[in-house]
Amino acid sequence: MDFKTFWAMAAALALAPACLAPAGLADERAGAAAGSSARPGFAIVRPNPDPYPSTYKPLASSPFVIRNATVYDGAGAAYANADVAVADGKIVAVGAHLPAPAGAVEIDAKGRFVTPGIIDVHSHLGVYASPGVNAHDDGNEATAPARPDAWAEHSVWPQDPGFERALAGGVTVMQILPGSANLFGGRSVVLKNLPARTVQGMKFPGAPYGMKMACGENPKRVYGEKGGPSTRMGNMAGYRQQWIKAEEYQRRWDEYWRKAEAYEKQLSEAGARPRRGAKPAEPPTPPDRDLKLDTLADVLRGEILVQMHCYRADEMALILDLAREFGYRVTAFHHAVESYKIADLLKADGVCSAMWADWWGFKLEAWDTVRENIPMVHQAGACAIVHSDSAIGIQRLNQEAAKALADGRKAGIDISDAEAWIWLSLNPAKALGLDAVTGSLLPGKNADIVIWSGNPFSVYTHADQVFLDGARIYDRFDPAYQPMSDFELATDAPAKGGRP
Amino acid sequence: MRALVIAAVLLLAAPANAETIAIVGGRIVTNDAPGLIEKGAVVIKDGRIAAVGAGVTPPAGARVIDAQGKWVTPGVIAAFSRIGIVGVEQENAVNDGRVGATPVAAAADVAMAFDPDEAAIAVTRIEGVTRAAVAPIGGPSPISGYGAIADLSGGPQSVLRRRAFVYVEGGDIGAARAGESRATLWPYLDAALSDAAAFPMRFLSHTEGSVLRRAEAEALAPVLKGDVAMMLRVERAADIRQALAFKARYPAIQLTLVGVSEGWRVAEELARAGVPVIVDPIQNLPDSYEQVGARLDNAALLRRAGVTVAISPAPGADDAAQLRLILQLAGNAVANGMTWADGFAAITSVPARILAMPDAGRLAPGTAGDVVIWDGDPLEVMSAPDMVFIAGQEMSLQSRQTLLRDRYRNLNDADRRPFQYRR
């Protein structure tokens, strides 16, 4: 059954007594709704949590072993002259003189470096696609400050040439976010960087959704003359009003499900031991669905991760209290240029900071950047992430980490190269709820790997090869592994005169 | 605190008391005939380079700085920027980088807007950038007005040359301002130059020419004669060809092209015309329809064809607060095929040549005492300056950002007073 049919029926059910529902469809409906029905004619209404499911399939791969590389495992460890063994799309082992998995191809990486693929937790690829014309302005549903009902995946254009550029920079996984015009910008989507015809083909199977929220200047600038919020206190009032509604919505649904389950049980018992003359109880009526509150309630349930655009330290501290007030968690502050001022608070609350190495000055809330923000947050024991927020920046996040690392060292913050790679893979994976499956070279994790031409913290280094789930998806020396979007077919270099 | 920084800067920028400095033992990038000198010495006297070489010994009484294991280079020069005129990009009151509709728009003069106290200047200086071309990019017409050349000392005499060039928007932006079409952009520029040619005679009885007002025609007149250079932004190949045709119509104009994303497609034509370009080598996306051929090796391909190539952040992008990225840009150009020497020249000696500053961008006797000592290869993202000199004066490596860092360096200080008490 497709999702349209499903929702049409769910809506009908919400309005009609169960006994009027078309009995012939009941089993199918119950199955699709992931509920159970004791007998035809009644099914508990449960919003489908995954109506646009991933169709991602890894490329075919064979086992391989990378030999003689310098390996940063993404979790903080470095290995010299080490091997990385991969089979069935997963990491088998990292270490010296590894036995090759059966049938493995050997890749000599002497003089080269191996790391987990880079994960960018803050990208607008696809929603602000290149070329940046009005027609591609799909990142901000700036028509009302609370639009948690907007889903970034419904804006992603998979032919954005930026995806291929990011791949050449070693990026294997990205979170695509709505923009920051709104207090509640909408749902994010986590993509694997294997090109596909559809966004579903890029969706990371099983990745939790994120929800974009924004602090500070952007919402008040966008709505200041459109009914508000026009101030930071208006921003806070706007969040709180929505959370109050979400709490009530969650309560109504929880109550419905409790009653519906009790009713289902009653039906099932009645079916087993029918009593003559017993009048069946009225089935409970599900609450009206609200697409905005669906998302917010799932945040309150802990199923959707809050990704919050916030620059200033004092605002972040208010947001942490806001989250406590309504019993949810902020997973990561994005941009977070003042995290260094409150790294202790961020550590205490277990919140990640996704940061630039040095971008600043374009607006007042970005005025207090320091070059050592990332290493200072890391040193305080809080979760530090290098992010891009840029179709240009995403192509060299390794250089951004290098700058931050060097500036930190110059200021006396001693962090090893291998430890710094945590900012590019394991910590971002954590902020996406995916650290159990990717983000480091731990055996059993997805074989998302980059082989670098040299030290990845050098400006002169390139990603030579990129692997996703154990399959080679990019090769700097082999055009057969250099994907190109439809948009660039007629505009690519060869068509315009060729490479010299 | 800001007052303290300003005071420190003023002290450092005070008139030279003729300290003689000898930087010894470093790897010297001269950008001049001797090329790279291993373990050489650079002597700075009276604010200028007095001697450079392997066999140079420090003069008696000189302050000797040990640069063993370090790189010693001329200070970095940005061929294009908006530093000193853009404070906070999104706050109009703190942004003089935009020119609105006014009868003197094309006569805008950024030298008068340049603020040596602007926070980005110290932020940029401590990364090794010592001079910059400063350009207006706004305005109601394609002609944005006069750019200037400034040093980044933060001193009151920072503006080295007023009215150094006129900045003109071609391409998408210029077309939008000249009647929404490239079909009217070039006739607009022709008409403007015709007005300039008619200055002052025509304007004795009229205040308006066919497109320029009197003050604007006056501003453009020296450009037509080649006394003041013109920077013209164009991106797509077809527009670059139009720019070269424009240059052929006005051979006296000292033309430099800015942007030039698709320059690699017309590299031979650019080389033949002898027109230099200022490119941002990491702009490799089809960000607009005039950049669909943008690629990472644009700078390398242009250079290989014999074009004079300077590197600077693209206009309107990271050309003010983030001008410091210029070094990373040059590094990426080298990573994508430029030679190291060309990449470094693109942010030192080439801008000096384009901007007609024969005393800068090189380390040779008589050139400016703008010198940087680096802890490694200056184009590497992990390298940083250890010392910066402008006109022979050692610059502070402090900025508002380093002060913020130091204030919050230790969050667990036993001193429980609020952070605002920390100096």
| Minimal C-alpha gap between B289 and chain A (Å) | 6
Report CB contact under 8 Å: B404, A500. Answer: no
Q: Is the pLDDT of residue A152 over 70?
A: yes
Residue B317, pLDDT score: 81
Kindly state the average pLDDT of the residues A291-316: 98
Residue A30, classed as helix, strand or coil, is helix
Percent of chain B with pLDDT over 90: 86
Percent of chain A with pLDDT over 70: 89
DSSP 8-state symbol, A199: S
Q: Which amino acid is at B239?
A: D
Q: What CA–CA distance (Å, rounded) separates A66 from A152?
A: 37
Residue B103, pLDDT score: 84
Residue A80, pLDDT score: 98
Question: Which residues from B are below 8 Å from A362, CB to CB?
Answer: 88-90, 321
Residue A280, pLDDT score: 66
- What residues contact B89, with CB distance under 8 A and at least 6 apart? A361, A362, A363, B95, B97, B320, B321
Q: Is the pLDDT of residue A167 over 60?
A: yes
The 3-class secondary structure across A54-105, one letter per residue, is CCCCCCCCCCEEEEEEEEECCCCCEEEEEEEEEECCEEEEEECCCCCCCCCE
Q: Which amino acid is at B52?
A: V
Instruction: Give residue A135's Cα distance to chain centre.
Output: 25
Comparing A185-199, A283-297, A464-478, B9-23, the range with the smallest average pLDDT is B9-23
Report CB contact under 8 Å: A130, B286. Answer: yes
Kindly state the average pLDDT of the residues A40-56: 93
Report the sign of the C-alpha dihedral through residues B52, B58, B59, B61, in that order.
positive
Residue A493, pLDDT score: 58
Question: Which residues from B are below 8 Å from A406, CB to CB?
Answer: 381-384
Tell me which chain B residue has its CA closest to the CA of residue A495. Answer: B293
DSSP 8-state symbol, A154: G
The 3-class secondary structure across A455-492, one letter per residue, is CCCCCCCCEEEEEECCEEEEECCCHHHCCCCHHHCCCC
Report CB contact under 8 Å: B384, A410. Answer: yes
Instruction: With a cut of 70, list the residues of chain B below it in pLDDT.
Output: 1-18, 414
Residue B170, pLDDT score: 97
| Minimal C-alpha gap between B212 and chain A (Å) | 31
Residue A58, pLDDT score: 98
User: How far are the Cα atoms of A62, B372, B376 from residue B74, in angstroms, in the given order?
Assistant: 52, 6, 14
Token pair of B263 as six digits: 């320059």
Q: What CA–CA distance (Å, rounded) separates A448 from A439?
A: 8
Report CB contact under 8 Å: A457, B379. Answer: no
Residue A500, pLDDT score: 33
Question: Which residues from A are below 8 Å from B291, CB to CB?
Answer: 131
Q: What CA–CA distance (Å, rounded) separates B267 from B351?
A: 19
Report CB contact under 8 Å: A459, B304. Answer: no
Q: Is the pLDDT of residue A197 over 80?
A: yes
Comparing A6-20, A68-82, A168-182, A235-249, the range with the smallest average pLDDT is A6-20
Q: What CA–CA distance (Å, rounded) separates B140 from B231?
A: 17
Q: Is the pLDDT of residue A461 over 60?
A: yes
Token pair of B49 as six digits: 């380079």
Confidence band of A8 (pLDDT split at 50, 70, 90): very low
Residue B175, pLDDT score: 97
Report CB contact under 8 Å: A372, B405. Answer: yes
The model's pLDDT over A218-270, given as tens digits with 9 standing for 90+, comes to 999 999 999 999 999 999 999 999 999 999 999 999 999 999 999 999 998 88
Residue A40, pLDDT score: 58
Residue A492, pLDDT score: 60
Residue A35, pLDDT score: 44
Q: Which amino acid is at B320?
A: A
| Minimal C-alpha gap between B402 and chain A (Å) | 7
B311 in contact with A at a CB cutoff of 8 Å? Answer: no
pTM over 0.90: yes
Kindly state the average pLDDT of the residues A67-91: 98
Peptide bond into A131 cis (omega under 30): yes
How buried is B181 (Cβ within 10 angstroms: 0-12 exposed, 13-18 middle, 19+ buried)? exposed
The 3-class secondary structure across chain B, one letter per residue, is CHHHHHHHHHHHCCCCCCCCEEEEEEEEECCCCCCEEEEEEEEEECCEEEEEECCCCCCCCCEEEECCCCEEEECEEECCCCCCCECCCCCHHHECCCCCCCCCHHHCEHHHCCCCCCHHHHHHHCCCEEEEEECCCCCCCCEEEEEEEEECCCCCCCEEEEEEEEEEECHHHHHHHCCCCHHHHHHHHHHHHHHHHCCCHHHHCCCECCCCEHHHHHHHHHHHHCCCEEEEEECCHHHHHHHHHHHHHCCCCCEEEEECCCHHHHHHHHHHHCCCEEECCCCCCCCCHHHCCCCCCHHHHHHHCCCCEEECCCCCCCCCCCHHHHHHHHHHHHHCCCCHHHHHHCCCHHHHHHCCCCCCCCCCCCCECCEEEECCCCCCCCCCEEEEEECCEECCCCCHHHHHHHHCCCCCCCCCCCHHHCC
Residue A231, classed as helix, strand or coil, is coil
Residue B78, pLDDT score: 98
